Amino acid sequence: MNTFGNRFRVSIFGESHGPRIGVTVDGVLPGMPLGEEDFAEDLGRRKAGALGTTPRTEDDFPQIVSGVYNGRTTGAPLTILFRNENTRSEDYEGFREHPRPGHADFTANLKFDGFNDPRGGGHFSGRLTLAIVAAGVVAKKMLYFAKFHAQLIEVGGLKDAAAWPDALKAAQEEGDSLGGIVECTVEGLPIGLGEPFWNSVESQVSHAVFSIPGVRGIEFGDGFQASRMKGSEHNDPFPEHHCCGRHKHPQPPVTNHAGGVNGGLTNGNPLVFRVAFKPTASIAKAGIPGRHDVCFALRTPVIVEAMAAIVLADLAL
């Protein structure tokens, strides 16, 4: 089912080459100022056009059709529509019978008995992340006290950003593609967000993040490296004389190996996690036509932020 969240609930619909994609956000606080212009910055960050990204560009103008009245949210479901205009569906006709490696063509075709929309990946397309970014803008507005920051920290295994342009150009010339790693930090969260056991912050964030096409892994705080540390190295001690139940202003741990979460609940330190994106599946080298990103990970930091915001808005309500 294409719905996520309990109290802040995001439902997406649409196909890459259909007339519209859209998103309905339920559980929005009433009274927040909201207009189309609020979406410009984040939608712009997701846009194609830069080095290493697809030449397919769209206007990506968000049309709010419900849930806003006189420039403020009403508390009723908020629906935002986007038109798909720049489509070249003829590129995709042959892929039902010859599924592309690394795409959903094969599995979707079997699951939906051959009735799925194959054009541009249909409902499985990365274009649906446009709706996610829009929902993320609404979530961030609700979490006005928190600061989200996601950025690429690796491209093609290179940590030095100065080396990325050459690597991207080289991959493009070879008709190949690169992956990358995004690190996301959220500051300013209250202590205690999350639910015990099944709905820890990590469970919910990872659930949402693995919905972004092309994610291969996620880790919090020290992550995989934590498994190679000793307890004495990985533990985050509390400040001395700490008495959590007594102080008016409880103090979080003094280090942050845990990435801001203890027992599945936020602990007052910044939430820190990293997401690994695979290299773009569609490569010219393998004879896949269409317009594609050399490294779609370049466009994902704002999507990762949006997913974190969607999860945290749900937990904060």
The interface with a copy of itself within residues 29-68 (CB under 8 A) comprises 30-31, 65-67
Would you say 201 and 218 are in contact if contact means Cβ atoms under 8 Å apart? no
Q: Which of 266, 283, 277 is nearest to 303 (CA)?
A: 277
Instruction: Compare residues 61 and 112 and give the one whose CB is closer to a copy of itself.
Output: 112
Give me the sheet containing 3-4, strands edge to edge.
3-4, 9-14, 20-26, 78-83, 63-66
Least distance CB 204 / a copy of itself (angstroms): 7
Of 78, 143, 304, 309, the one binding a copy of itself (CB under 8 A) is 78
Of 49, 55, 94, 101, the one binding a copy of itself (CB under 8 A) is 101
Partnered with residue 10 across adjacent β-strands are 4, 25
Alpha carbon distance 303, 103 (integer Å): 19
Q: Residue 257: which residues within 8 A CB-CB, separation 6 or more?
A: 221, 222, 226, 229, 233, 234, 235, 236
Instruction: Compare residues 57 and 89 and give the one whose CB is closer to a copy of itself.
Output: 89
According to DSSP, residue 124 is labeled: G
Instruction: Compare residues 47 and 250 and give the one whose CB is closer to a copy of itself.
Output: 250
Instruction: Compare residues 44 and 152 and give the one whose CB is closer to a copy of itself.
Output: 152
Least distance CB 187 / a copy of itself (angstroms): 17
Instruction: Compare residues 30 and 44 and give the one whose CB is closer to a copy of itself.
Output: 30
Q: Which two structure tokens, joined as six digits, stand for 46?
A: 């997701």
Look up residue 202 and give its amino acid.
Answer: E
Least distance CB 40 / a copy of itself (angstroms): 20
According to DSSP, residue 134 is labeled: H
**Which parts of 191-210 interact with a copy of itself (CB under 8 A)?**
191-192, 194-200, 202-204, 206-208, 210
Sign of the C-alpha dihedral computed for residues 235, 237, 243 and 245 taken in this order? negative
Least distance CB 39 / a copy of itself (angstroms): 17
**Which parts of 109-168 interact with a copy of itself (CB under 8 A)?**
109-117, 119, 121-124, 128, 154, 156-157
Instruction: Compare residues 44 and 254 and give the one whose CB is closer to a copy of itself.
Output: 254
Q: What are phi and psi of 22, to 5 degrees?
A: -160, 175
**Which parts of 216-275 interact with a copy of itself (CB under 8 A)?**
216-224, 226-238, 242-246, 250, 253, 258-259, 262-267
Instruction: Compare residues 47 and 251 and give the one whose CB is closer to a copy of itself.
Output: 251
Q: Which 3 state secondary structure label does DSSP give 174?
A: coil
Least distance CB 138 / a copy of itself (angstroms): 14
Q: What are phi and psi of 248, to 5 degrees?
A: -70, -30
Least distance CB 252 / a copy of itself (angstroms): 8
Query: What would the x/- binding string for a copy of itself be over residues 3 to 32, using CB under 8 A?
Result: xx-xx-x-xxxxx--xxxxx-x-xx--xx-
Contacts by 165-168, CB closer than 8 A, 24 or more apart: 165/51, 168/51, 168/52, 168/294, 168/295
| Total chain residues near a copy of itself (CB under 8 A) | 140
Of 40, 47, 58, 99, the one binding a copy of itself (CB under 8 A) is 99
